[in-house]
Amino acid sequence: MSVKRDSFSVSFTVGAYGSAFGASAVANHFTVLQACLLSLLLFSGASQFAVIGVMGAGGSAASAIATSTLLGTRNALYGLRMSSILKHKGWRRAIGAQITIDESTGVALSQSNEVDARKGFWYTGLGVFLFWNLFTLMGALGANAIGDPSAWGLDAAVPAAFLGMLWPRLKERATWAVAAASLVLALVLVPNVPAGVPIISCALIAIVVGWRSE
Amino acid sequence: MSKTWIALIGSSALAFALKYLGSAVPEFWLSHPRIQRINNLIPIALLSGLVIVQTMTEKTKYIIDHRAAGVGFAIAALIAKAPFPVVVVGAAITSAIVYRY
């Protein structure tokens, strides 16, 4: 029972946030259809916001794809972690892969046995998928109706969302250092390189620090 | 095809490939501590870059406007341990108020 409750509450709260994505996508000149397709096909919050953020800032498709993909690398590690619990083959593995995200993995790994872990993964993954897509559509339609995104603060909602995703990850000194170095690097690069490149360049800092630190 | 569609399809295809890859590759490929460390740091670096670029720049120029006020609210809310929706909605409201007046 508590697996279902956990899964539902996570699904609904996270899914509701899809409305912010839908609205932000439209504010960044994506159509309602494109906003919905990103939620259906890409289905990974930070990566989706990265695509609209980089494109909205005038970046190229290549830098949007690269930023989105690097933000999605953690999903591969979630997939690895879950594969020993799920043990799926064929089409189930493909559907399971699409819903391998922060929330489904998080709820699954917080269960005390494998049966509940499997339930938690599927309930949460499918639940977030359902609500995230519904709310994306509502947010996109809503933003389409209200016109000027700045008048509603939507252009500030996107960086605030990124900050909200970043904040819980800033625990040790090394993580603060990576964040600070990335802020500086991105700012220094902005006037000197095409839009989108400053953001993707920050990955170099993560690679250098992660490679060297013990 | 417009660059928006290219970005949409390309990022979606690669996102699925990454999710699928994790369940299909031998564990030792991804379990190296160095890979794990880099993987933990990449979102921090990219999200930091996204925050600053979205807050203080416009194309290739620096600019301080209503968005900075919104993000300022977000920082204060996060320090006060406010829940995520409060952070985002509060930032939007703050920014909208500054934009209008």
* pLDDT the model gives residue A80: 83
Residue among A81, A203, A213 whose CB faces B42 most closely: A203
φ/ψ (deg, to 5) at A14: -65, -45
* pLDDT the model gives residue B10: 97
> Interface pTM (ipTM) of the complex?
0.89
From chain A, pick out residues whose CB is under 8 angstroms from the CB of B8: 34, 37-38, 41-42, 51
Find the distance separating the first CA and the last CA of chain B, reported in whole Å. Answer: 40
User: Are A180 and A159 contained in the same domain?
Assistant: no
Q: Assess contact for A35 and A21: CB atoms under 8 A.
A: yes
B33-63: pLDDT as tens digits:
888 888 889 889 988 998 999 899 987 889 9
- Where residue A100 falls among pLDDT bands split at 50, 70, 90? very high
User: Are A18 and A43 contained in the same domain?
Assistant: yes
User: Are A102 and A11 contained in the same domain?
Assistant: yes
User: Are A199 and A93 contained in the same domain?
Assistant: no
Interface mutation vs chain B, best among A55, A77, A173, A185, most B CBs within 10 Å: A77
User: Are A181 and A99 contained in the same domain?
Assistant: no
Cβ of A162 and B56 within 8 Å?
no
Domain edge (last residue) among A135, A152, A168: A168
Cα angle A104, A105, A111; round to 5 = 95
Give pTM, 2 decimals: 0.82
Q: Quick check: B75 contacting A, CB < 8 Å?
A: yes
User: Are A157 and A205 contained in the same domain?
Assistant: no
When pLDDT is averaged across residues B9-30 and rounded to a whole number, the result is 87
Total tally of structural domains belonging to chain A: 2
The answer on pLDDT for A81 being more than 70 is yes
Using DSSP's 3-state secondary structure scheme, residue B62 falls into: strand
User: Are A126 and A180 contained in the same domain?
Assistant: no
* pLDDT the model gives residue A33: 97
* pLDDT the model gives residue A164: 87
Residue A147, H or E segment: none
User: Are A176 and A106 contained in the same domain?
Assistant: no
When pLDDT is averaged across residues B16-29 and rounded to a whole number, the result is 83
Distance from chain centroid for Cα A151: 25
Structure tokens at A206: 């993560």
* pLDDT the model gives residue A132: 95
Structure tokens at A176: 């603060």
From chain A, pick out residues whose CB is under 8 angstroms from the CB of B96: 150-153, 156
Work out the burial of residue A148: count CB atoms within 10 Å of its CB; fewer than 13 is exposed, 13-18 middle, 19 or more buried.
exposed
Q: Where are the alpha helices (DSSP H) in A167-196?
A: 173-189
A147-203: pLDDT as tens digits:
777 888 888 888 898 898 889 889 888 899 999 999 999 999 999 988 888 988 999
From chain B, pick out residues whose CB is under 8 angstroms from the CB of A211: 34, 37-38
**How many Å apart are CA A28 and CA A30, to the nearest integer?**
6
User: Are A210 and A128 contained in the same domain?
Assistant: no
Whole-angstrom CA distances from A5 to A104, A119, A130, A209, B69 are: 13, 11, 16, 40, 37
The answer on pLDDT for A214 being more than 70 is no
The answer on pLDDT for A90 being more than 80 is yes
User: Are A164 and A174 contained in the same domain?
Assistant: no
- Where residue B65 falls among pLDDT bands split at 50, 70, 90? very high
Q: What is the span of the domain harbouring residue A201?
A: 170-214
Residue for token digits 């991804």? Answer: B30
User: Are A121 and A175 contained in the same domain?
Assistant: no
When pLDDT is averaged across residues A9-13 and rounded to a whole number, the result is 84
**DSSP-derived secondary structure for A31-55:** -HHHHHHIIIII--HHHHHHHHHHH
From chain B, pick out residues whose CB is under 8 angstroms from the CB of A162: 47, 50-51, 54
